[in-house]
Every structure is written in structure tokens, then in C-alpha cells.
Chain A
Amino acid sequence: MYKNALCALPIMLAMASPALADPGQTPDEVLQALIDRSDSAYLTQSEQNLMMMQDEPSYWVIEQGEILFKEPRGPKKASLEQCDFGKGPGVLEGAYVEMPRYFADTGKVMDLESRLMHCMKTLQGFTDEDKAIKDKHGNTDLVKIQTFIAAKSNGMAWNPPMDHPLEKAMRGAGEEFFYRRAGVSDFACSTCHGATGKRIRASVLPNSSIPDEWTKAVSWPAFRVGHEAVRGSQHRVSECIWQMRQAEIVYGSEAAIAIIAYWTDKARGQPAILPDLKR
């Protein structure tokens, strides 16, 4: 118990810091508050996106996700309201900013997307072959539902638990992968996210070591303006690795979860922008 209390201390400090935004804010207000106390060129680079954020197309995706979440669906005709995202069955407020986390029922560290698929299988009876799970990216059930769930953590500080040894192990592997150069271009995640204010073409890149800009980088789901679609964390992982000319990463794999575990930890204490809007 004593040890647990010690572990909780830095978390409490983080929550007491001004980094924690007012949960009543909209995503654009959360971002504006970050911009007001930071000099990050990454946060302010796109006047276009800052304007568009005030009318995010993803607001409609949240509404669609809420309907899908509450509707009895699948062979078992059940809703997802009994799904445990880590804070107890049906508790969505603040659940996403505390993921990935260890789940005793699966014995695994899971991120939002893999946990959602798990509940759709166990509670609703869907299988990998069903459209509801098979269609990962785009205008899909998975994207709509995760956007609804994630929005319940808007403005809250990222706070993924690091109590279970597996949570630490996965974060450690994610960090290792972050620096792991491979493929025909010798790229690693750190190639683009290891320095401040650097640009790739016209885009300012976020530095993983600057938490108040990194929080925007890991704030998924986000509406990708160039894709005309809402994208999730798994999509971001996949697309970066694709641009890095490495192999195709498997959606929901533990490799992807490890990367997400590390990147979420690097934003610890900073308010999540959910849903965000990106280039």
C-alpha cells in the first residue's frame, strides 16, 4: 500500500498542475489554452486548421458513435454500455487518457481500439469477419465509437497507469521501437520526433520530449483534413511506419500498442485534445 501511495504521488502532482484543462472546454479551447502558455511552433503552425477546428466534422462522428455505443448490436444483441475501459463497466469519463492499461480479464495491455474490439467480440458476439470489426479505418463503426469514447476525456491530462509490470514492459518496448532504425531509409520515429521546431516539407514536427506540444501529436482520434476522415492512433502508427519504409504493422498488434503506450506516457500530465483536427 505504501508503495502504491508513492507511485500515485507524481500523478497527483501532475493533476494539480495547471496542465489540467477545464473539462467543460471544447477541443479548440483546450488547444488554445496550450497555445497561450507555450511557444510551440508545432501547435500554431496551421491557421487553416485552427479555423477549421471550431467546426470540427468529427463532432458529427461523436454523435454517430454514441448511437452505435448505446444500441443493442451483434449476435448477442447487446450494447457496449457494460464494456470496461479500465475504470469500471460503462465508465467513459476519463477512461481514454488512462489507456493503454493492463486488463486482468485478458492478461494484456490494451489500447482503446483493441479494448473496443475485445468488447465488441465478448459482449456483442462480433467476430473478426464481421464488418463492424473488419473495417478498421474511414467512416467505420470502430472509428465512430472510439471517437465518442475518446471525446469523454477531452481536456483531461494523459495519465496512463504504470503500476503493472506489463504496463512498464510495454512502455519500455515502445521506447525501444521509437529509436529503432530499420528499413531502406534507416528511419526511426526519433528521426522526425527527436528535435524541436524542425519541418518536414512545410509541416512543423512535434518533439516527443516537449509534453505540451506532444500532447497534440498523440491526440487521436482526429479529423485528418487531407484524408477527409477521422483517424485513430492505430492509423497514425501505421501511416508513420509506412512513410518510414518499414513493414506494414498489424492493426491492434502488441507492437502497435507498445508504441502507443510509450507515446502516451510522453504526454503525461498534459491535456488531451479530443477529438483533434490535423492536417
Chain B
Amino acid sequence: MFNKTRIAALLAATLLPGVPASADKPTSAAQVDYTKMTPTELTEYLIFEANGFKLDQPAQEGKTARERMTQDELQKTCSALRGKPADAATAQKVAELARDSHVYPEGGIKLGDWKKGRGLAREGAGFRLGPKVDDNTKKLGGNCYACHQMDPKEITFGTIGPSLSGFGKLRGNTPETQKYVYDVVYNAHAYFPCTNMPRFGANGFLNKDQITDVMAYLLDPESPVNL
């Protein structure tokens, strides 16, 4: 684990407080002994203390880039796996964290508009910071096609996630399936701990209505995903 006190001690001994290190000047390496740090400590130091990132840039979710770089509990836990599948204890812990995050629409989950869902599945902009900050007023999307096959007629789809072609036809458009799809888009870690899939709802990438639209794109019998 990253030890804040230890870094702070190293810093206090070497750097003047409040003076940001420059990327070009031989400050940090010469004054702080990187070889005495664990890889985790050094990584955190390079990100937060050695002018590694533009941390003060405002982010569209109302916070700053610093919060973007700061890991939450789930991110920390999953990063520690180093790409390996989650062990039982990790899986249980992450799934619990995820279940606690689910928030449902008032009045229950209802199928949204599959056409809007299609737009959200195709569009990939939103939330990118520097150097080119996304214009977040338009073209915001979940970019589902980056990782999933959906409409079988669409030829450019990614394969990081499983194919979702014919998903509704296969699983049925039942209340149970609707809740399952809503949950997975909102925070998939409840079912797949430490999945690669972003927490679209829990992280505010898509709002609740948008999630029901994506849900409709997958489940509505009229949607091209199921034709």
C-alpha cells in the first residue's frame, strides 16, 4: 500500500513546501531518492508531486483533474490484481462496493428509447481533459461499440467485451433482464468484479434516463440489435 506518511517525510526533508517541481529541472530525482521507494510510492509521487500531470484543470463533473487521478477503493483494489482475474475475497469485496452504488430511477426501471440508446452506443465523446477538452454539450456517449458488437449490421465494433448482438432476443425483455442490464451498465462490478467495463452510472458518465435508453437498444424487440 501507498504510504502517505513516508512520502511526506521524504518530501519534508527535501523539497520546499508549495514549490511545484518542473519537468525539466533536475529537482525531484536529485533530491528525493526514488530507489528507496516502492513502485507504488514512486508512481504516486510522479503523479502527484513531480509535476507529472496538470492536476488543477477543472473537470466537467465539477471536480478537478486531481480527483480524476486519485483512486477510489474499487480502483485501488482492482489495480492490485495486475490484470489477473479477481480472487474470491477481492471479488466479494468489489461486488459489495458495486451493489452499494446502484441508484434506480424513481418509479422503477422502464425501457427507454432505443433510438436514443443507439446514439449513445455509437458516440464516444465526453469527459476527456487536456490537451483537447471535449465539448460536453453534444455527442456525449457511452461508446459501447468501442468494445461490444451490438447491431449485427454494424461492421466496426470492438471485442474487449462480449458480443451483445441479439441480446434481447436471447434473454427476453423481462423485468428481471431489464434490472440486470440496468445494473450492469450502472456498475458492472456487482456481477463481474474488476471488469474492464466503466461504471457508467456510478461514475456519472451516463444519467439514469440515458441508461434506460441504452437498455432499450439492447432489449427492445424493435431495436436493430434484435432484428
Contacts and interface: CB of A to CB of B under 8 A. Distances in A.
Interface of A: 106-109, 114, 117-118, 121, 128, 165-166, 168-170, 172-173, 175-177, 179-188, 190-192, 194-195, 197-202, 205, 238, 242-243, 245-256, 258
Contacts of B93: none
Interface in B26-62: 26, 28-30, 34-35, 37, 39-40, 42-43, 46-47, 50-55, 57, 61
Given A176-B42, A186-B203, A250-B54, A200 B29 contact: no
A183 B68 contact: yes
B127 A185 contact: yes
B24 interface: yes
B160 A200 contact: yes
B79 interface: yes
25 contacts: A107-B26, A107-B30, A114-B24, A121-B24, A177-B43, A177-B46, A179-B81, A183-B68, A183-B69, A186-B198, A186-B203, A187-B196, A190-B82, A194-B83, A199-B159, A201-B157, A202-B157, A238-B131, A246-B65, A247-B53, A249-B54, A250-B53, A254-B29, A255-B52, A255-B53
A184 B131 contact: no
Contacts of B55: 247
A181 B78 contact: yes
Interface of B: 23-24, 26, 28-30, 34-35, 37, 39-40, 42-43, 46-47, 50-55, 57, 61, 65-66, 68-71, 74-75, 78-79, 81-83, 127-132, 145-147, 155-160, 196, 198-199, 203-205
A251 B23 contact: yes
A102 to B, nearest CB: 9
Contact of A254 (B28, B61, B130): B28
Contacts of A117: 24
A195 B155 CA distance: 21
B57 A175 contact: no
B37 to A, nearest CB: 7
Contacts of A205: 160
- Top 8 closest A-B pairs, CB basis? A255-B52, A248-B130, A247-B65, A172-B39, A247-B53, A165-B35, A176-B43, A173-B42
B23 A108 contact: no
Contact of B39 (A118, A173, A238): A173
Contacts of B160: 191-192, 195, 198-200, 205
A181 B199 CA distance: 12
Contacts, number: 173
A6 to B, nearest CB: 20
B51 A200 contact: no
Contacts of B204: 184
Contacts of B43: 173, 176-177, 180, 258
Contacts of B130: 242, 247-248
B116 to A, nearest CB: 21
Nearest to A200: B158
Contacts of B40: 176
Most buried by A among B34, B132, B199: B34
A267 to B, nearest CB: 18
Nearest to A235: B131
Contacts of B51: 250, 253
Given A114-B23, A180-B43, A205-B160, 9 more contacts: A180-B71, A182-B75, A191-B160, A192-B160, A201-B157, A246-B129, A247-B66, A255-B50, A256-B52
Contact of B71 (A109, A182, A252): A182
Contacts of B82: 179, 190
A201 B146 contact: yes
A184 B57 contact: no
A199 B57 CA distance: 31
B54 A179 contact: no
Contact of A248 (B53, B75, B157): B53
A166 B35 contact: yes
Contact of A242 (B129, B147, B199): B129
A249 B52 contact: yes
Contacts of B54: 247-250
Contacts of B71: 180-182
Contacts of A185: 127, 198, 203, 205
Nearest to B60: A184
A182 B79 CA distance: 9
